[in-house]
């Protein structure tokens, strides 16, 4: 009979310790180590006799040639265009998709709308461990999907859930809301612990792969924004999606960070309304809808999110600091990247910024990660410093190097095409090969940051520059 043993597991990173400690050696978190009980199995699988030989016959696996053909099942389209875009065209049968996001961001709303749309063509089951069935029905009434054929259940025992879906006529789409509320009765730890999350996900994915069921899992996030539980959870699933958004904005961004069946870094844009999530067909026009012309410190950045070009406004405010250490506040961009741009502007282009408070914001709640936004950030900073507004019909993009050069970025033509479609007349870009214009779009090419002098050459800007000796 297998005996139980106690292990001490960090609830933040999953590191196993031989004894309890106040601080985890793996991630450095304090008071995150708890004791968990697990069944100890003999090493090597089956029990062994005195001679060391296995008493039972070991199992075998069947190998198949790589050159064989497999029948490819069609994707299950949710008919929510932005959701299908991020998934790569729809759900793949037998796949596991993990969706994480802050509390109240709209994860359950999105999955209930997707399940309602899919229930017209396949059997869908929505299993909630956080809400009662009547609560889910109330939300369905508010979303206008109460007449759909979605089957509801309130359960947290993974053994019961697997038994319900591991049948010949089981559901083809299963939503688990959420994985942190599920538990395996073979473990003594509480639901939501590292061991429980790992074991529950493993059992659910195993059944889904065998039955060809599309599994959608909701995951909670930590205060840092990462999905709670062991990091191995993201490796176990096929697709990882993050639902992002600011509480002060109605926009929601569904971002794919891992996808075995489609492109990564693809995004879908939604508008949160009283009737649920609505798709946004033209995100660029939406993000620029509240833009004011003639305001210093604002620049329109032509970026690429996944496979789609997207225009967004970058706002900067540079003011003299009364403090010995000026403030640097960033929303929607990398703070370390901002520090680098500020250093290059002062060290290579001659703009005095070290004694000023700097505030940077990406309008609309979007988070930008690509380095092509460097030039747009630099232009917005100098515009605020000099008080001279950037022309309202101009877009900016380009990567800045430490020597002050402006480097080329990928998918330049797609960025310019999106800008021309929205009525912009000029674009500030890195130097590129080929024509100097894109239809009616006038191109202003920059080899290095010294070209900013010609754009912001008024007396107010001249006094802010460091005089060359």
First to last CA, the chain: 84
Q: Average of pLDDT values for 278-284?
A: 89
Q: Do the Cβ atoms of 114 and 289 come closer than 8 Å?
A: no
Q: Average of pLDDT values for 70-97?
A: 89
SS3 state of residue 225: coil
* Per-residue confidence (pLDDT) for residue 343, from 0 to 100: 95
Say how many CA atoms lie within 13 Å of 250 toward its Cβ: 13
Q: Do the Cβ atoms of 300 and 395 come closer than 8 Å?
A: yes
Q: Output the six-digit token pair for 469.
A: 């000796």
Residue with the bigger pLDDT between 388 and 438: it is 388
In a domain, 28, yes or no: yes
* Per-residue confidence (pLDDT) for residue 44, from 0 to 100: 40
Q: Average of pLDDT values for 302-322?
A: 93
In a domain, 251, yes or no: yes
SS3 state of residue 297: coil
Which CATH number covers residue 316?
3.30.230.10
Q: Are residues 301 and 320 in the same domain?
A: yes
Cis status, amide bond into 369, omega within 30 of 0: no
Give me the sign of the Cα torsion angle 280, 443, 388, 377: positive
pLDDT-based confidence at residue 33 (cuts at 50, 70, 90): confident
Q: Average of pLDDT values for 162-187?
A: 94
Q: Are residues 248 and 382 in the same domain?
A: no
Q: Are residues 322 and 266 in the same domain?
A: no
In a domain, 49, yes or no: no
Closest CA to 305 of 168, 414, 404: 414
For 152, list phi and psi in degrees, rounded to 5: -105, 150
Q: Are residues 293 and 422 in the same domain?
A: yes
Element containing residue 381 per DSSP (H, E): helix 374-386
* Per-residue confidence (pLDDT) for residue 459, from 0 to 100: 33
In a domain, 50, yes or no: no
DSSP 411: -
Q: Output the six-digit token pair for 96.
A: 């596991």
Q: Average of pLDDT values for 92-103?
A: 94
Structural domain range at position 264: 81-281
* Per-residue confidence (pLDDT) for residue 461, from 0 to 100: 36
Residue 74 confidence (pLDDT) above 90: no
**C-alpha span between 87 and 263 (Å, rounded):** 8
For 174, list phi and psi in degrees, rounded to 5: -130, 130
Last residue of a domain, one of 262, 281, 300: 281
* Per-residue confidence (pLDDT) for residue 124, from 0 to 100: 97
Q: Output the six-digit token pair for 243.
A: 């639902």
* Per-residue confidence (pLDDT) for residue 463, from 0 to 100: 33
- Do β-strands 437-438 and 356-362 pair in parallel, antiparallel, or remain unpaired? unpaired
Residue that the structure tokens 């990882």 belong to: 240
Residue with the bigger pLDDT between 246 and 29: it is 29
Exposure of 151 by Cβ count < 10 A (0-12 exposed, 13-18 middle, 19+ buried)? middle
Q: Tens digits of per-residue pLDDT, 358-407? A: 999 998 888 898 999 999 999 999 999 999 999 999 999 999 999 999 99
In a domain, 440, yes or no: yes
Q: Are residues 96 and 241 in the same domain?
A: yes
Which CATH number covers residue 130?
3.40.50.300
Lowest mean pLDDT among 131-135, 152-156, 435-439: 435-439
In a domain, 19, yes or no: yes
How far are the Cα atoms of 88, 116, 209, 406, 419 from residue 174, in angstroms, in the given order?
A: 19, 12, 12, 49, 41
Q: Are residues 327 and 247 in the same domain?
A: no
* Sheet with 239-244: strands ordered across: 151-154, 124-128, 173-177, 214-219, 96-101, 239-244, 251-259, 267-273, 276-279
**C-alpha span between 31 and 15 (Å, rounded):** 13
Q: Are residues 256 and 306 in the same domain?
A: no
In a domain, 312, yes or no: yes
pLDDT-based confidence at residue 59 (cuts at 50, 70, 90): low
* Per-residue confidence (pLDDT) for residue 54, from 0 to 100: 42
* Per-residue confidence (pLDDT) for residue 6, from 0 to 100: 76
Residue 52 confidence (pLDDT) above 70: no
Instruction: State the Cα torsion 436-438-443-448 to the nearest 10°.
Output: -70
Last residue of a domain, one of 230, 255, 281: 281
In a domain, 32, yes or no: yes
* Per-residue confidence (pLDDT) for residue 19, from 0 to 100: 86
Of all residues in the chain, the percent with pLDDT exceeding 90 is 57
Instruction: State the Cα torsion 33-35-41-44 to the nearest 10°.
Output: 20
Q: Are residues 383 and 425 in the same domain?
A: yes
Residue 5 confidence (pLDDT) above 60: yes
Residue that the structure tokens 């020597």 belong to: 403
Q: Are residues 127 and 19 in the same domain?
A: no
Q: Are residues 269 and 295 in the same domain?
A: no
Q: Average of pLDDT values for 212-217?
A: 96
Q: How many domains does the chain have?
A: 3
Residue with the bigger pLDDT between 469 and 167: it is 167
The C-alpha R_g of the chain, in whole angstroms, comes to 27
pLDDT-based confidence at residue 194 (cuts at 50, 70, 90): confident
Q: Do the Cβ atoms of 192 and 181 come closer than 8 Å?
A: yes
Average pLDDT taken over every residue of the chain: 86
Q: Do the Cβ atoms of 397 and 414 come closer than 8 Å?
A: no
Of all residues in the chain, the percent with pLDDT exceeding 70 is 88
Lowest mean pLDDT among 27-31, 93-97, 101-105, 274-278: 27-31
Q: Output the six-digit token pair for 357.
A: 């408070």
Q: Tens digits of per-residue pLDDT, 323-348? A: 889 999 999 999 999 999 999 999 99
Residue with the bigger pLDDT between 136 and 50: it is 136
Last residue of a domain, one of 281, 299, 322: 281
Q: Are residues 32 and 170 in the same domain?
A: no
Give me the sign of the Cα torsion angle 155, 159, 164, 165: positive
DSSP 91: B
Residue 418 confidence (pLDDT) above 60: yes
**C-alpha span between 265 and 257 (Å, rounded):** 5
SS3 track for 1-17? CCCEEEEEEECCCCCEE
Q: Are residues 25 and 109 in the same domain?
A: no
């Amino acid at each position: 009979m297998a005996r139980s043993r106690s292990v001490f597991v960090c609830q933040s990173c999953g590191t196993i310790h031989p004894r309890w400690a106040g601080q985890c050696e793996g991630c450095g978190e304090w008071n995150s180590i708890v004791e968990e009980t697990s069944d100890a199995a003999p090493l090597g699988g089956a029990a062994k006799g005195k001679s060391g030989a296995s008493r039972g016959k070991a199992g075998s696996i069947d190998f198949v040639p790589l050159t064989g053909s497999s029948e490819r099942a069609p994707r299950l389209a949710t008919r929510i265009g932005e959701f299908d875009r991020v998934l790569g065209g729809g759900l793949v049968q037998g796949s596991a998709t993990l969706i994480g996001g802050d509390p109240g961001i709209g994860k359950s709303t999105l999955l209930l709308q997707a399940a309602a749309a899919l229930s017209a063509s396949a059997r869908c089951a929505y299993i909630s461990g956080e809400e009662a069935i009547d609560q889910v029905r109330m939300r369905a009434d508010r979303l206008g999907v109460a007449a759909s054929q979605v089957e509801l259940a309130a359960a947290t025992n993974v053994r019961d859930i697997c038994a319900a879906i591991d049948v010949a006529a089981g559901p083809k789409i299963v939503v688990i809301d959420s994985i942190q509320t599920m538990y395996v009765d073979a473990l003594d730890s509480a639901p939501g612990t590292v061991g429980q999350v790992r074991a529950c996900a493993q059992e659910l994915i195993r059944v889904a792969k065998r039955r060809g069921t599309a599994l959608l899992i909701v995951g909670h996030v930590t205060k840092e924004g990462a999905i709670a539980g062991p990091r191995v959870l993201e490796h176990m699933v096929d697709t990882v999606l993050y639902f992002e958004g600011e509480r002060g904005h109605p926009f929601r961004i569904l971002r794919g960070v891992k996808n075995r069946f489609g492109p990564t870094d693809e995004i879908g844009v939604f508008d949160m309304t009283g009737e649920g999530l609505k798709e946004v067909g033209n995100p660029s026009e939406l993000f620029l809808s509240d833009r004011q012309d003639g305001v210093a410190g604002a620049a329109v950045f032509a970026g690429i999110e996944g496979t789609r070009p997207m225009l967004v406004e970058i706002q900067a405010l540079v003011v003299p600091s009364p403090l010995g250490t000026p403030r640097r506040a960033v929303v929607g961009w990398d703070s370390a990247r901002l520090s680098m741009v500020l250093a290059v502007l002062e060290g290579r282009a001659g703009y005095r910024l070290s004694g000023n408070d700097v505030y940077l914001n990406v309008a609309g709640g979007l988070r930008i990660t690509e380095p092509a936004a460097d030039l747009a950030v630099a232009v917005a900073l100098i515009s605020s410093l000099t008080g001279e507004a950037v022309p309202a019909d101009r877009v900016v993009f380009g990567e800045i190097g430490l020597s002050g050069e402006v480097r080329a970025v990928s998918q330049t033509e797609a960025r310019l095409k999106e800008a021309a479609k929205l009525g912009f007349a000029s674009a500030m870009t890195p130097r590129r090969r080929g024509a100097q214009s894109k239809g009616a779009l006038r191109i202003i090419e920059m080899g290095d940051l010294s070209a900013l002098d010609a754009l912001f050459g008024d007396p107010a800007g001249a006094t802010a520059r460091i005089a060359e000796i």
